[in-house]
Amino acid sequence: MTRQRPPQSSTSRRTPAQRSGKQLGKPVAKPIGKLRIIGGEFRRRQLPVLDSPGLRPTPDRVRETLFNWLGQQLYGHHVLDLFAGTGALGIEALSRGAASVDFIERDPRVSAQLSANLELLNINSSTVHINDVQAYLTRPAKPYTLVFLDPPFHQQLAAPCCFALEEGGWLTSEAMIYLETETSMAPNVPANWQLHRETQAGESTARLYQRQDQRQLP
């Protein structure tokens, strides 16, 4: 997850400039850390993380808990990773067999590094979209079986994004939605999202919801 001002919308195509980490007229953020993949095909691989304000991978312990909830194999899943940042959650899903991931990240430098990391892993089935999440969710939708939603804290973004996912046709009938928020915030989610699992880590609370088709509700 990253906390940045949104640039204009575009889609990352992994150009040579992006692969090298260069962008004309802008300073280049330097990789200072590593993202360790904890399970699946790419287990123990380490990927560079940029020195960018507010950027942090989802901690190993939280990712391990989440993928224990989801199951270790995600074959056939089509995944949407909102506020992607380092792409830790989406890459972990790909490592465990997900068919594809659409990563939504508004910072061009962070997006370029994410694209470079996907190329480093030889992943061709996924795309990094340089876009603000709320703007992206106004586009014509395609349904996903799994969504990761980890918005910046204290900006009141969780509820609008949850309802945009539900009302915009972004979810399959039994989609799973992972939501991470500040612990002090009571989540406001659509009525047909059933809480499946919940855990707290530090100042954040992670919740996994199972969507129900509204036609099946009493």
- What is the structure's pLDDT at 70? 94
Average pLDDT, whole number, for the chain?
85
Q: And the tokens for 18? A: 């992006």
Listed residue (179, 132, 93, 184) closest to 3, CA to CA: 132
Instruction: Find the range with the poorest average confidence among 18-32, 102-116, 136-150, 153-167.
Output: 18-32
- The predicted model scores a pTM of 0.82
Q: How confident is the model at residue 62 (pLDDT cuts 50, 70, 90)?
A: confident
What's the pLDDT tens digit per position in 162-201? Answer: 999 999 999 999 999 999 999 998 889 999 999 999 998 8
Helix axes 60-70, 88-95, angle to 10 degrees: 50
Instruction: Say yes or no to pLDDT of 73 above 80.
Output: yes
10 by Cβ neighbours in 10 Å (0-12 / 13-18 / 19+) ranks as exposed
